[in-house]
Amino acid sequence: MTTDTIITARGLTKTFTVRKAVVEAVTDLDLDVQRGELVAFLGPNGAGKSTSLRMLTTLLPPTSGTATVVGHDIARDPAGVRRRIGYIGQGTSAGHNQRVRDELLSQGAFYGMGRRAAATRADELLESLDLAPLATRKVLGLSGGQKRRLDIALGLIHSPELLFLDEPSTGLDPQSRANLWQHILDLRREHGTTIFVTTHFLEEADLFAERVLVMDHGRMIADDTAGNLKTTLAGDVITLGFASEADARAAAARAGGTAAGSSLSLTVDHGELVLPRLLRELDSVTSATLRQPTLDDVFLALTGRSLREDAATSKEEINA
Ligand SMILES: Nc1ncnc2c1ncn2[C@@H]1O[C@H](COP(=O)(O)OP(=O)(O)OP(=O)(O)O)[C@@H](O)[C@H]1O
Ligand SMILES: [Mg+2]
């Protein structure tokens, strides 16, 4: 651990007992996050992301293991941790009958800020999160994207060094998601805030995070930059088209890969070198594409499942 380490966790474990059955929500989580990092935490539904965040933010006592967050031990000094962090939970949109600016002032008072300091900070945040024109509107009447931005302002009112965000962009349209991320990145640039964020949107993690953690079944299964994960864990995807299904199957027999209809997909290292060779060897190819791996390919390689399918399933469940 260096002086610049803002989160250290060792063997953090949480089990729940539900009707005599033991649920191992998080098992043996080891984690070091450096000051100023933007870390994305990925994993399918039920992987243990929120439980990890709730332990690190002192909302949930671990079954075993230890963690130090912004210099304070989560078990011995939870109040010390809470004073220095911001936490925006999953789907906790403020739904109060209060006005936007008053909501921020109440939150400041909750953190023990003086009224003047809270007002100054509230106005700063309203400005930087594009909420100033809504300052006197009732929270209840805000749109989803506006509420999520207010959530972020609420989490930042006491100027925390470290901000935990649990799926900040779920439920927002693409435009609002992009807008929200712009605000997150601006805040980070202006204040150097360390950001630890869970998301189901792999593109977000890929674009914005310099480090990606992947959790599955309560265990951390990957921890690296998105670029490294993609180059070391998932190969390039080559898709070849053929005139007929029989041609595609014959090509699969020679070159490997998976034939589907009249096309053949292969996952390979260095697709740019493999593709010309395949085109020389297979004479019946009618079309060819080479695709760089995505984080979803990484997830598929790690777990045998697609995170995208997972997200789609959970959405259907919600809609059902
Ligand atoms: N209070 C609780 N009581 C019992 N089981 C729980 C509780 N909270 C979480 N769990 C279980 O722990 C596991 C991890 O849940 P968690 O909410 O941490 O997952 P997640 O990765 O945040 O999922 P999602 O992507 O759906 O938000 C799941 O099996 C969940 O059912
Ligand atoms: Mg969750």
Q: What is the CATH number of the domain that holds 117?
A: 3.40.50.300
Helices (H), 134-270: 144-156, 174-191, 202-208, 226-233, 245-255
User: Is pLDDT above 90 for 119?
Assistant: yes
- Evaluated on CA atoms 195, 200, 202, 203, the torsion sign reads negative
- Residues above pLDDT 70, as percent of the chain: 93
Q: What is the pLDDT of residue 232?
A: 80
* Residues 123, 245 within the same domain: no
Domain total in the chain: 2
* Residues 194, 268 within the same domain: no
What confidence tens digit (pLDDT) does each residue in 257-266 have? 888 899 998 8
Average pLDDT (103-127) is 89
Residue with tokens 């293991």: 65
* Residues 211, 248 within the same domain: no
Tell which one of 12, 14, 15, 16 to mutate to probe ligand 1, the residue whose CB is within 8 A of the most ligand atoms. Answer: 16
Q: Which distant-in-sequence residues (6+ apart) come within 8 Å of 98 by Cβ? A: 106, 138, 139
Per DSSP bridges, beta strands 72-73 and 64-69 are antiparallel
Cα torsion 16, 17, 23, 24 to 10°: value is: 50
Q: What is the pLDDT of residue 92?
A: 57
Residue with tokens 């997200």: 311
Question: 209, 212, 218: which is closest to 233 by C-alpha?
Answer: 212
CB 81 within 8 A of CB 40: no
* Residues 245, 225 within the same domain: no
Average pLDDT (116-137) is 91
CB 15 within 8 A of CB 24: yes
What confidence tens digit (pLDDT) does each residue in 68-89 have? 999 999 999 999 998 899 888 7
* Residues 220, 245 within the same domain: no
CA of 136 to the centre of ligand 2 (A): 32
Q: What is the pLDDT of residue 277?
A: 93
Q: How far is CA 221 from CA 10, 74, 295, in A?
A: 15, 24, 13
More confident residue, 10 or 208: 10
Q: What is the pLDDT of residue 183?
A: 80
User: Is pLDDT above 90 for 314?
Assistant: no
Enclosing domain of residue 24: 5-230
* Residues 250, 117 within the same domain: no
More confident residue, 278 or 110: 278
Determine the atom of ligand 1 nearest the C-alpha atom of 14: 12
The band of 270, judged by pLDDT with boundaries at 50, 70 and 90, is confident
Question: 36, 40, 37: which is closest to 199 by C-alpha?
Answer: 40
* Residues 226, 240 within the same domain: no
- Could you tell me which residues are beta bridge partners of residue 157? none
Which of the ligands is closest to the CA of residue 44? 1
Closest Cα to atom 22 of ligand 1: 50
